[in-house]
Amino acid sequence: MTDFSKTPLLDTIKTPEDLRKLKVEQVRQVADELRQETIDAVSVTGGHFGAGLGVVELTTALHYVFDTPRDRLIWDVGHQAYPHKILTGRRDRIRTLRTAGGLSGFTKRSESEYDPFGAAHSSTSISAGLGMAVARDLSGGKNNVIAVIGDGAMSAGMAYEAMNNAGAMNSRLIVILNDNDMSIAPPVGAMSAYLSRMYSGKTYRSLRDAAKQLGKHLPKVIADRASRVEEYSRAFMAGGGTLFEELGFYYVGPIDGHNLDHLLPVLQNVRDMETGPILVHVVTQKGKGYGPAEAAADKYHAVVKFDIATGAQAKSKPNAPSYQNVFGASLVKEAAKDDKIVAITAAMPSGTGVDIFNKAYPDRTFDVGIAEQHAVTFAAGLATEGYKPFVAIYSTFLQRGYDQIVHDVAIQNLPVRFAIDRAGLVGADGATHAGSFDNAYLGCLPNFVIMAASDEAELVHMVATQVAIDDRPSALRYPRGEGRGIEMPEVGIPLEIGKGRIVREGSKIALLSFGTRLAECEKAADELAAHGLSTTIADARFMKPLDLDLVLKLAREHEILLTIEEGAIGGFGSHVMQTLAEHGMLDNGLRVRSMVLPDVFLDHDSPNAMYARAGLDAKGIVTKVFETLGKDFKAETVKLA
């Protein structure tokens, strides 16, 4: 006897081609089953959840109406794309999401021909789609290009840059604005759906084009007035599309993104348009169809494994506090003493710990949306007026504001304080979210002070240090996840700028750590001691200015000096090497090695597994010491055993 399937129709769909064979009245059932499968899958894997639930009907309708993958479907951000993955041949692997060797949590070109563009950062879809549309036109192709943008992605300037360009070029591009927070849309109903269908239909468009042609032969004052009446009536009835029309888009909407009777005919009309660009304004509800998500303030944006019946998320064993929460709590304490401290983030208040600051000081907290460039220059403006802005942005997102860091902050030597979360490898989000490059991209900038916390207690002191640095910009990096569980200071005490510390004294090997690999250095030193190798451990604290006395002391008093950091080539190790070379310390037999992230983009896995693969755990450090000594580590271990 076979088990009863909860998803009988979905079970027959391997690719969107199978979906397109169904009758239109069956599409609703597919969407319902797709929602069920999405809930089931994410309850097992965890991951981004609310946004995907909100686009179930839209995903089903798009693949039903358009000829994917020949028609290019681009999902902005990518975390809306779990239902898309289920429909496009990846259902059998959906429970491997975000695990080693499994599916990516974002769209990925190498994963499927149905993912024409990889996206994990926001607001890129319209630019990429325009590129594909122009390539199609240059090649004489006829396929459609559809960009689905939403979940806050319209708060980024890049989306408007792309729309401005697309409008001017008149390229046939379809943009679906997935408005899932009601930030733009008025109430959506049958009248709006009827008008959207009418506006996107051929008859109305033909009449509109005819009126434009007629207008050319009328006196200018009458023609202008007639076109204005038409524009105002469309904006009034269709609810606020004037901005998009001004950018050169043909605006359709808003329509209910959960009503397939509204969605399907409008998408079919839009598909058959011969001119562009077109913007379809679709209103959806984040977390739709799953009660606990609908009721939650964050709509279950991102979740760990959860119980489907109750929505209760699996609780990890309480351990040390997370770095982001230590940062948030430390900033609150500093702000109590200094009313000039303000916090800025770019749409990641809970991810950065700024939400903790916001509870205490809502008037001094600024979430600028997905707008990292603006965040940096906004902070620079605050700094010119004597305020002390802390810009809390993930390392990988801060890359978007790099020009502003250089021009608006560093050149003007403004005391903007960067709190750089997600330093190093981050686990399930993979290469797109790893903080691999900030040591290198900030280290080359004049005027900067650059610190990395080796544990959560150091982080508290470094926040206090940043408050005290009032004559130049500073950056403080720390990783994702929990601290070490050490005793926490009551208050942060500013550190001496550019001074590191010796953690353990030895004589032969020196391990100079920058950041939270310090714990692995301590494990490695214990193992090296068992092999009779006396090891010094130093915590650099500062990459810029570098502790020259400490670096030269380590170089003079040891045979081997290893630098260890959670970053790519060109960062801390490069600064140490340059300093040693300039001071002639490489001329007399000292053996120096820099341990950095490998020169590849590492796919998602657990952070521990990723660091092991990168060779930046205790075992990797010990192996590197033996390689540097010229001895084979395994042979040495066997001999001692």
* DSSP code at position 89: I
- The DSSP bridge pattern shows strands 560-565 and 509-514 to be parallel
Look at the alpha carbons of 346, 348, 352, 353 in this order and tell me if their dihedral is positive or negative.
positive
Tokens of 470: 């009032």
Helices (H), 16-55: 16-20, 27-45, 50-54
255, 270 in Cβ contact below 8 A? Answer: no
* DSSP code at position 86: I
The upper half-sphere exposure of residue 69, i.e. CA atoms within 13 Å in the direction of its Cβ, equals 14
Task: Map residue 248 onto helix, strand or coil.
Answer: coil
- Angstrom distance (rounded) from CA 330 to CA 356: 10
- Angstrom distance (rounded) from CA 476 to CA 473: 10
3-state secondary structure 395-452: HHHHHHHHHHHHHHHHCCCCCCEEEEECEECCCCCHHHHCECCHHHHHHCCCCCEEEE
**Would residue 636 show up in a list of annotated catalytic residues for this protein?**
no
602, 430 in Cβ contact below 8 A? Answer: yes
**Would residue 17 show up in a list of annotated catalytic residues for this protein?**
no
DSSP H or E stretch at residue 72: strand 72-75
- Angstrom distance (rounded) from CA 471 to CA 416: 9
Angle at 103 between CA 12 and CA 295, to 5 degrees: 80
The upper half-sphere exposure of residue 378, i.e. CA atoms within 13 Å in the direction of its Cβ, equals 19
Phi and psi at residue 604, to the nearest 5°: -60, 145
- Angstrom distance (rounded) from CA 311 to CA 10: 24
- Angstrom distance (rounded) from CA 344 to CA 13: 46
**Cα 63 to chain centroid, rounded:** 26
33, 9 in Cβ contact below 8 A? Answer: yes
SS3 content of the chain, % helix, strand, coil (to 5): 45, 15, 40
620, 628 in Cβ contact below 8 A? Answer: no
Among the listed residues 400, 422, 541, 624, the single catalytic one is: 400
* DSSP code at position 91: G
420, 477 in Cβ contact below 8 A? Answer: yes
Among the listed residues 108, 286, 388, 517, the single catalytic one is: 286
Nearest-10 Cα torsion for 454, 458, 464, 469: -40
**Would residue 517 show up in a list of annotated catalytic residues for this protein?**
no
- Angstrom distance (rounded) from CA 543 to CA 408: 22
31, 48 in Cβ contact below 8 A? Answer: no
DSSP H or E stretch at residue 393: strand 388-394
Residue numbers annotated as active site: 286, 372, 400
